[in-house]
A and B are shown apart, each in its own frame.
Chain A
Amino acid sequence: MNNQLTMSSGKRAHIMRNILKNKWLYLMISPGLLYILIYKYIPMYGLIISFQNYKSYQGILGSEWVGFEHFERLFGSPDFWMIFSNTIILFALQLLIFFPIPIILALMLNELRSEKYKRTVQTLIYLPHFMSWVIVVSISFVIFTVDGGIFNSLLELLGFEKINFLLKEEWFRPMYILQVIWREAGWGTIIFLAAIASVDPQLYEAAKMDGAGRIRQMVSITLPAIKSVIIVLLILKIGDVLELGFEHVYLLLNSTNRQVAEIFDTYVYVTGIHQGQLSYSTAVGFFKGFVGLVLVIGANWLAKKHGEDGIY
Chain B
Amino acid sequence: MKRKVAMGMLMALALLASACSNGSGNASTGGKENGGSEGTGGQSAPAKISIMTPLHMAETPDPKIEQLIEEKLNVDLDIQWIPASTFPDRMSAAFATGSLTDIVNISITGANREAIRDGQFWDISAYIDQYENLKKLNPEVLNNTKVDGKLYALYQGRPLSRQGIIYRQDWAKQLGLSDPQNLDELYTMLEKFTIEDPDQNGQKDTFGLAERGDLVSGAFKTIASWNGTPNEWGVMDGKLAPAFMFPEYKETMEFFKKLRANGYINSDFPVTSKTEQQNLIMNSKAGAYIGCMCDVQQLYTGLAQLQPDAQLEVFNQVKGPSGKFTVFSGPGFNHPYLFPKSAIKTEEELKQVLAFMDGMMSPDIANMLYWGIENEHYTVVDGKAVPVKEQAKIDRDVKPYNTIEVGDSATNSRLEGKYDYTPMQKAQELFVDNEAFVVPDPTLMLDSDTFTKHKDRLAQIITDATYNYMLGEMDEAGFNKAVERWKSEGGMQMIDEFNAAYEQNK
Contact = CB atoms under 8 A, between A and B. Distances in A.
Answer yes or no: do A and B interact. Answer: yes
B268 A164 contact: yes
A130 B18 CA distance: 11
Contacts of A164: 267-268
Interface string B296-316: 000000000000000000000
Interface string A188-204: 00110111011100000
Given A146-B268, A166-B271, A273 B12 contact: no
B270 A198 contact: no
A83 to B, nearest CB: 14
Interface stretch (B91-99, B357-365, B389-397): B91-99
Interface in A137-155: 141, 145-148
Nearest to B473: A256
B38 interface: no
Contacts of B448: none
B12 A166 contact: no
Interface in B261-307: 266-268, 270-271, 280, 285
A275 B120 CA distance: 19
A21 to B, nearest CB: 23
A147 B269 CA distance: 10
A141 B342 CA distance: 43
Contacts of A197: 4
Given A148-B285, A255-B464, A194 B271 contact: no
Given A57-B118, A164-B268, A195-B4, A255 B456 contact: no
B58 interface: no
Given A166-B271, A254-B270, A255-B467, A56 B96 contact: yes
A229 interface: yes
Contact of B213 (A190, A193, A254, A270): A254
B8 A191 contact: yes
Counting chain A CB atoms within 10 Å of each CB, the highest count among B7, B8, B97, B456 belongs to: B8
A225 B2 CA distance: 11
Contact of B464 (A147, A258, A270, A273): A258
Given A191-B12, A275-B456, A167 B92 contact: no
Nearest to B4: A198
Nearest to A191: B8
A57 B111 contact: no
B95 A195 contact: no
Nearest to A192: B8
B1 A195 contact: yes
B457 A57 contact: no
A116 interface: no
Given A55-B115, A274-B88, A255 B463 contact: yes
B9 A167 contact: no
B5 interface: yes
Interface in B122-176: none
Looking at A129, A169, A276, the one whose CB has the most chain B CB atoms below 10 A away is A276
Contacts of A255: 213, 270, 463-464, 466-468
Contacts of B285: 147-148
B95 A56 contact: yes
A190 B15 CA distance: 11
A271 interface: yes
Interface in A221-238: 225, 229
B344 to A, nearest CB: 14
A278 interface: yes
A195 B460 CA distance: 48
B110 interface: yes
Contacts of B454: 275
Contacts of A229: 5
Contacts of B19: 129-130
A276 B451 CA distance: 13
Contacts of B98: 56-57
Contacts of B467: 254-256
Contacts of A190: 8, 11-12
Interface in B1-54: 1, 4-5, 7-9, 11-12, 19
A254 B271 contact: yes
A55 B267 contact: no
A188 to B, nearest CB: 10
A225 B19 CA distance: 30
Nearest to A276: B111
A11 to B, nearest CB: 30
Nearest to B10: A194
A194 B7 contact: yes
Contacts of B457: 271, 275, 277
B326 to A, nearest CB: 27
B471 interface: yes
A120 B207 CA distance: 45
B12 A198 contact: no
Given A57-B115, A166-B271, A256-B473, A274 B1 contact: no
B163 to A, nearest CB: 22
B120 A57 contact: yes
A258 B213 CA distance: 15
B89 interface: yes
B248 interface: no
Contact of A256 (B5, B115, B471): B471
Interface in A119-143: 129-130, 141
Given A141-B271, A190-B12, A276 B92 contact: yes
B71 interface: no
Contact of B5 (A55, A56, A191, A276): A191
A57 B342 contact: yes
A137 to B, nearest CB: 10
Interface in A217-276: 225, 229, 254-256, 258, 270-271, 273-276
A254 B89 CA distance: 18
Contacts of A141: 271
A82 to B, nearest CB: 12
Contacts of A256: 270, 464, 467-468, 471, 473
B456 A195 contact: no
Nearest to A226: B5
A308 B293 CA distance: 67
Contacts of B97: 56
Q: Which of A130, A271, A275 has the most CB of B within 10 A?
A: A275
B220 to A, nearest CB: 12
A223 B267 CA distance: 49
Contacts of A57: 98, 115, 118, 120, 342
9 contacts: A57-B118, A194-B9, A194-B11, A195-B8, A198-B5, A254-B213, A255-B213, A256-B467, A273-B89
By Cβ-Cβ distance, the 9 closest A-B pairs, closest first, are A194-B8, A276-B111, A198-B4, A255-B467, A275-B456, A255-B464, A56-B96, A198-B1, A147-B266
Interface of A: 55-57, 129-130, 141, 145-148, 164, 166-167, 169, 190-191, 193-195, 197-199, 225, 229, 254-256, 258, 270-271, 273-278
Given A147-B266, A191-B5, A198-B5, 14 more contacts: A55-B114, A55-B118, A56-B98, A148-B285, A254-B271, A255-B213, A255-B270, A256-B471, A271-B457, A274-B92, A275-B457, A276-B92, A276-B110, A276-B111
